[in-house]
């Protein structure tokens, strides 16, 4: 039987509910949600009572009282470094929600701390674990379209994200750091690492403090492929398919097109097939959030499997620095009005 992994979740806010439900549902596979923590006593207490586990308001107190194999940090990014360095210092395997950290310095410090301590570290970069995107990756791996040479990957919505996460209005960096990081990671997942990136940002909503509620990026991949990556919270359309990622990928043998409603059309050697690549609703998911929620479940399932087998995660800390470097490079490219090569961490 697979080894049981005792998990503590730090952060019991809006999106953390998906992590909590995912870990609970993975109990038959060996996950044991063992404790929760939040600086807000009301949130911690509610989560603890809902999921039937001890609750805490202090991270060190939880680590001292509970025997935990892994910690899932689902808090605001400005808290990630301090919390991660604490859990790493206790020798506990650590999962950090994206964005990894507010700065490159903070992100690399977390990775370096884990490396020196020999602690397993992963980033909850969950778009790539969504059922539609795993289906696309499977088609690419089959060779049906050949080596991808061009793609457009887009996340465009007018869904009111500020209603559920009002702090977005006051962020210094917004769409690239929040959802653009996901879409950039998808570009790496599907087409490989990036040699340079250009970026144009816009602020189309006057309520937003950040300069970027919309970003249009052009990537040159190390394979020679080119991708256009788009992200905005300011799209205005009657049919808003939030939070789906739509895409087109072309190769020498054909193409993959994913349209709204999780529909995929694959053309290979002149023959086309269509399929529904969505996943069924879970007991705790609902539209329109389901695609995102199911991706969180997929990521947690992957982390659990890796922890049980003692192997690095697909989105291990060191690898995710390559995605974080794209975010950093995109902001620099927008500010400097030129293509920028992402920083490489040794």
How confident is the model at residue 345, as a pLDDT?
77
Asked if residue 229 has pLDDT above 90, the reply is: yes
CA angle 213, 215, 219 (to 5 degrees): 160
Q: Do residues 200 and 334 touch, judged by C-beta distance below 8 A?
A: yes
Task: Say how far apart CA 144 and CA 285 lie, in whole Å.
Answer: 33
Q: pTM score, two decimals?
A: 0.95
Phi–psi pair at 257, nearest 5 degrees: -125, 125
Q: How confident is the model at residue 310 (pLDDT cuts 50, 70, 90)?
A: very high
In this prediction, residue 190 has a pLDDT band, given cuts at 50, 70 and 90, of very high
Average pLDDT, the chain: 96
Statement: residue 107 has pLDDT above 70: yes
Give the confidence band of 164 by pLDDT, cuts at 50, 70, 90: confident
Cα gap 180→215, rounded to integer Å:
8
Q: Using one digit for the tens of pLDDT, what is the confidence trace for 42-79?
A: 999 999 999 999 999 999 999 999 999 999 999 999 99
Which DSSP string do the residues of 302-343 spell out, in sequence order? HHHHHHHHT---TTBHHHHHHHHHHHHHHHHHHHHTS-BPPP
In this structure, how many other beta carbons lie within 10 angstroms of the beta carbon of residue 195? 14
Q: What is the CA radius of gyration of the chain?
A: 20
List the strands of the sheet with 31-37, edge to edge: 55-56, 31-37, 5-10, 70-73, 93-97, 121-124
At 247, give phi and psi (nearest 5°). -155, 160
Confidence (pLDDT) at 99: 84
CA nearest neighbour of 75 among 47, 112, 117, 115: 47
């Amino acid at each position: 039987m697979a080894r049981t992994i005792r998990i503590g979740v730090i952060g019991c806010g809006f999106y953390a509910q998906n992590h909590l439900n995912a870990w609970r549902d993975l109990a038959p596979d060996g996950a044991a949600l063992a404790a929760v923590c939040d600086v807000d006593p009301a949130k911690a207490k509610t989560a603890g009572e809902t999921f039937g586990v001890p609750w805490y308001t202090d991270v060190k107190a939880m680590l001292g009282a509970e025997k935990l194999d892994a910690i899932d940090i689902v808090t605001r990014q400005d808290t990630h470094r301090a919390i991660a360095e604490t859990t790493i210092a206790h020798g506990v395997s650590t999962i950090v929600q994206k964005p990894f950290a507010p700065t490159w310095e903070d992100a690399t410090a977390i990775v370096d701390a884990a490396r020196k301590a020999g602690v397993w570290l992963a980033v909850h970069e969950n778009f790539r674990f969504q059922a539609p995107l795993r289906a696309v990756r499977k088609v690419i791996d089959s060779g049906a379209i050949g080596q991808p040479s061009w793609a457009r990957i887009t996340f465009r919505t007018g869904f009111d994200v500020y209603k559920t996460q009002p702090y977005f209005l006051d962020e210094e960096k917004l769409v690239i750091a929040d959802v653009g990081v996901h879409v950039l990671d998808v570009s790496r997942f599907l087409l490989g690492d990036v040699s340079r990136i250009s970026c144009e940002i816009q602020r189309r909503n006057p309520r937003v403090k950040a300069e970027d509620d919309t970003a249009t990026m052009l990537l040159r991949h190390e394979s020679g492929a080119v991708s256009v990556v788009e992200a905005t919270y300011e799209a205005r359309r009657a049919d808003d398919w939030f939070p789906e990622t739509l895409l087109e990928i072309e190769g020498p043998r054909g193409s993959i097109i994913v349209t709204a409603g999780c529909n995929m059309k694959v053309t290979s050697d002149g023959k086309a097939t269509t399929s529904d690549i969505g996943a069924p609703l879970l007991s705790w998911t609902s539209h329109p959030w389901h695609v995102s929620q199911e991706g969180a479940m997929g990521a947690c399932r992957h982390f659990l499997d890796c922890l049980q087998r003692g192997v690095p995660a697909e989105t291990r800390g060191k690898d995710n620095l390559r995605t974080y470097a794209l975010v950093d490079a995109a902001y620099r490219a927008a500010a400097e009005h030129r293509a920028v090569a992402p920083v490489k961490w040794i």
